[in-house]
């Protein structure tokens, strides 16, 4: 029996046409699909999985949910939909207990596991081929990236090519581990975003579109989060002017107002050395280089600075007398920041209120991207936001404000 001809435009939304070719050509290993309601990400992944199995008889699949009881009504039904949509019902054996699908021609398997069962963490084997595909649905429900990594360490064995799919509705807060991991760029990872506006209207339905339009009018923030899949924040985010995007070498070649700042860290705290360009006319800051390390000796830091800053331009640093003197002994042009009562608040005010945009390249500066994005006001015991800027996880932020202390109206402070 020959599988029927397939028209993929009837199966996946237009937002996934390019991704389909990237998946089939194995351009990446890790595919992160984020989106709101009706974004069609789960439908696309289920189609990708079946298509990959058809072209490679060694491919087997494991689909994960955090809680096993949710499998039969979610991912199992989603795979069943994909098989039917592709006209392949006669080519697969569907089993309910335990939930699985078997491709009759080759014996390839699609298994479904809930990670609430500790035995699912153990190494697994298959008679023919290997588990080339994993899919973590509703990624935000898992406890953290460590849980995911432990599973992959057990599963990703015995083959040369792997496809790891992750699908999720982004949590509102950047504090979420999922949003944090999404910021971490790596060459074998694709981060894809979609929303219902890219889906054919008839696929999501008139009532869906009506409900979305009502929420867009009366609850716009919730609409952006639930329907557009945006990380809207919790209302306590501080850097609302933050923009994370690639900064090209072409852009950097035109930067002429370069600033450099250094936060030396204390004890186990990391050291952060930051390089940025300040566009005073447009009131935009571009952060494009970082050196972030714990327990970094002065000579190692000095060597990095000499490579990054060969013309020995000025660096404004946190005050630690011995370290500064050590850096100066290596010929580094560094001066202490003008710290004093109120200086921290003054620096943050400039970053948040005076700058229209803070652009950070998450590939070049992953730690700065993480710290700026996750920096939020804390709450008191009653759930109300505390007006003070919180201390901690702000090492790159401090280095940036030191670098810019002479770029905004001066504040008279008492020297520490």
Instruction: Give the Cα separation of 394 and 375 in Å (integer).
Output: 8
> Taking a C-beta distance cutoff of 8 angstroms, is the pair 222, 215 a contact?
yes
Beta bridge partners of 107: none
| Region class of 283: left (phi > 0), else alpha (psi between -120 and 50), else beta | left
Instruction: Give the Cα separation of 363 and 361 in Å (integer).
Output: 6
Name residue, tokens 């900064």. Answer: 247
Question: Could you confirm whether 138 is annotated as catalytic?
Answer: yes
CA distances to 37, 111, 126, 161, 173 from 123, in Å: 34, 14, 11, 18, 34
Peptide bond preceding 98 in cis form (omega within 30 of 0): yes
Instruction: Work out the number of other CB atoms within 10 angstroms of the CB of residue 384.
Output: 9
Q: CA nearest 61: which of 5, 2, 106, 4?
A: 106
**Between vectors from CA 53 to CA 50 and to CA 59, what angle results, nearest 5°?**
135
Q: Which helix (H) or strand (E) holds 210?
A: helix 206-218
Q: Of residues 27, 77, 138, 211, which has the active-site annotation?
A: 138
Q: CA nearest 374: which of 217, 242, 191?
A: 242
Instruction: Give the Cα separation of 166 and 41 in Å (integer).
Output: 10
Instruction: Give the Cα separation of 393 and 397 in Å (integer).
Output: 9
Q: CA nearest 152: which of 137, 167, 134?
A: 134
Helix (H, G, I), strand (E, B) or coil at 22: helix
Name residue, tokens 């020995």. Answer: 312
**Between vectors from CA 86 to CA 85 and to CA 92, what angle results, nearest 5°?**
100
Report the Cα 190 to chain-centroid distance in Å: 10
Query: Could you give the residue numbers annotated as active site?
Result: 138
């Amino acid at each position: 029996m020959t599988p029927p001809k397939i028209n993929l435009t009837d199966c996946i939304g237009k937002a996934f046409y390019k991704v389909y070719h990237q998946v089939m050509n194995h351009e990446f290993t890790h595919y992160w699909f984020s989106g709101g309601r009706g974004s069609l990400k789960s439908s696309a992944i289920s189609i990708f999985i079946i298509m990959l199995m058809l072209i490679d008889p060694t491919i087997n699949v494991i689909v994960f949910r955090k809680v096993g009881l949710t499998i039969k009504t979610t991912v199992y039904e989603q795979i069943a939909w994909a098989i039917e949509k592709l006209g392949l019902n006669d080519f697969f054996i569907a089993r309910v207990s335990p939930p699985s699908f078997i491709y009759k021609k080759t014996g390839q398997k699609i298994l479904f596991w809930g990670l609430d069962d500790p035995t699912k963490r153990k190494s697994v084997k298959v008679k023919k081929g290997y588990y080339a595909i994993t899919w973590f649905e509703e990624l935000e429900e898992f406890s953290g990236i460590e849980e995911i990594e432990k599973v992959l360490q057990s599963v990703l064995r015995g083959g040369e090519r792997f496809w790891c799919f992750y699908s999720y509705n982004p949590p509102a807060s950047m504090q979420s581990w999922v949003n944090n991991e999404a910021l971490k760029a790596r060459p074998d990872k694709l981060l894809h975003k979609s929303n219902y506006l890219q889906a054919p209207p008839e696929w999501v339905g008139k009532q869906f579109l009506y409900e979305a339009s009502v929420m867009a009018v009366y609850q716009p923030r919730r609409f952006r989060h639930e329907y557009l899949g945006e990380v809207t924040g919790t209302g306590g985010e501080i850097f609302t002017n933050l923009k994370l995007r690639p900064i090209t070498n072409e852009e950097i070649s035109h930067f002429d107002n370069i600033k450099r700042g250094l936060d030396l860290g204390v004890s186990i705290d990391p050291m952060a050395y930051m390089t940025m360009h300040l566009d005073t006319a447009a009131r935009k800051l571009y952060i494009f280089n970082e050196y972030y390390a714990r327990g970094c000796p002065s000579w190692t830091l000095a060597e990095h600075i000499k490579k990054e800053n060969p013309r020995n331009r000025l660096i404004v640093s946190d005050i630690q007398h011995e370290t500064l003197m050590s850096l100066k002994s290596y010929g580094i042009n560094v001066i202490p920041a003008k710290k004093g009562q109120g200086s921290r608040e003054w620096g943050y005010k400039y970053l948040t209120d005076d700058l229209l945009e803070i652009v950070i390249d998450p590939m070049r500066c992953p730690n700065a991207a993480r710290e700026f994005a996750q920096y939020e006001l804390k709450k008191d015991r009653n759930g109300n936001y505390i007006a003070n800027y919180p201390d901690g996880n702000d090492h790159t932020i401090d280095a940036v404000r030191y670098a810019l202390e002479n770029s905004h109206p001066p504040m008279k402070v008492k020297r520490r």
